[in-house]
């Protein structure tokens, strides 16, 4: 079995070990779409970023990914956080991400690596007897115009083999 470092190197990404912590329940103004499989996600994200920018909304954002339980599609969304009472601007959907008591959070150097950093996150969780589930979050903490890009990969976790959160 490959170590996390070897897996990350082969995948072409650099990922730190996940820290386990709770996640908040943000409200988002977002645009969304669906991909048939993971190979379609980058193009979908590009399309959604363009749609979001067309509404006049910019800045650092949150991307979400959720595989449908039947395996038919992957729901993809790109959005920005909203204040508690704010309505989304015209053309954007309101979304509420659930709070999570236990989640893996990994700080990642860039959003545009050629490899898939989620592969190393899942491998690191497996070494701890955990697995990811639910809505994956990619939170852009600092954008390109603010120095080196910084992204947090976040996903709810549970004990391996457990079918409830």
pTM equals 0.81
Residue 30, pLDDT above cutoff 80: yes
**Can you tell me the distance from the alpha carbon of 44 to that of 38, in angstroms, rounded to the nearest whole number?**
10
Q: What pLDDT does 59 receive?
A: 62
**Can you tell me the distance from the alpha carbon of 18 to that of 30, in angstroms, rounded to the nearest whole number?**
27
Torsion sign, CA atoms 8, 14, 19, 23: negative
Residue 98, pLDDT above cutoff 50: yes
Q: What is the pLDDT of residues 102-155, one digit of tens each?
A: 999 988 765 554 456 777 788 888 888 999 999 999 998 875 555 677 888 999
Through-space distance between the first and last CA atoms of the chain, rounded to whole angstroms: 27
Distances (CA, A) of 52 to 17, 47, 89: 32, 9, 10
DSSP 3-state of 110: coil
Q: What pLDDT does 150 receive?
A: 83
114 CB neighbour count, 10 Å cutoff: 7
How confident is residue 165, by pLDDT bands cut at 50, 70 and 90?
low
Q: What is the pLDDT of residues 34-70, one digit of tens each?
A: 999 989 999 999 999 999 999 888 766 899 999 998 9
DSSP 3-state of 42: helix
């Amino acid at each position: 079995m490959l170590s996390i470092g070897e897996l990350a190197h082969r995948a072409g990404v650099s990922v730190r070990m996940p820290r386990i912590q709770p996640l908040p329940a943000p409200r988002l103004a977002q645009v969304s779409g669906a991909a048939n499989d993971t190979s379609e996600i980058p193009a979908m994200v590009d399309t959604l970023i363009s749609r979001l920018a067309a509404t006049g909304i910019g800045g650092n954002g949150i991307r979400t990914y959720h595989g449908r339980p039947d395996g038919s599609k992957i729901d993809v969304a790109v959005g920005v956080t909203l204040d508690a009472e704010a309505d989304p601007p015209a053309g954007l959907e309101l979304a509420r991400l659930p709070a999570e008591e236990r989640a893996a959070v990994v700080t990642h150097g860039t959003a545009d690596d050629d490899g898939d950093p989620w592969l190393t996150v899942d491998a690191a969780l497996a070494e701890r007897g955990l697995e990811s589930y639910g809505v994956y979050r990619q939170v852009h903490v600092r954008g390109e115009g603010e120095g080196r890009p910084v992204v947090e990969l976040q996903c709810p976790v549970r004990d391996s083999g457990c079918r409830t959160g």
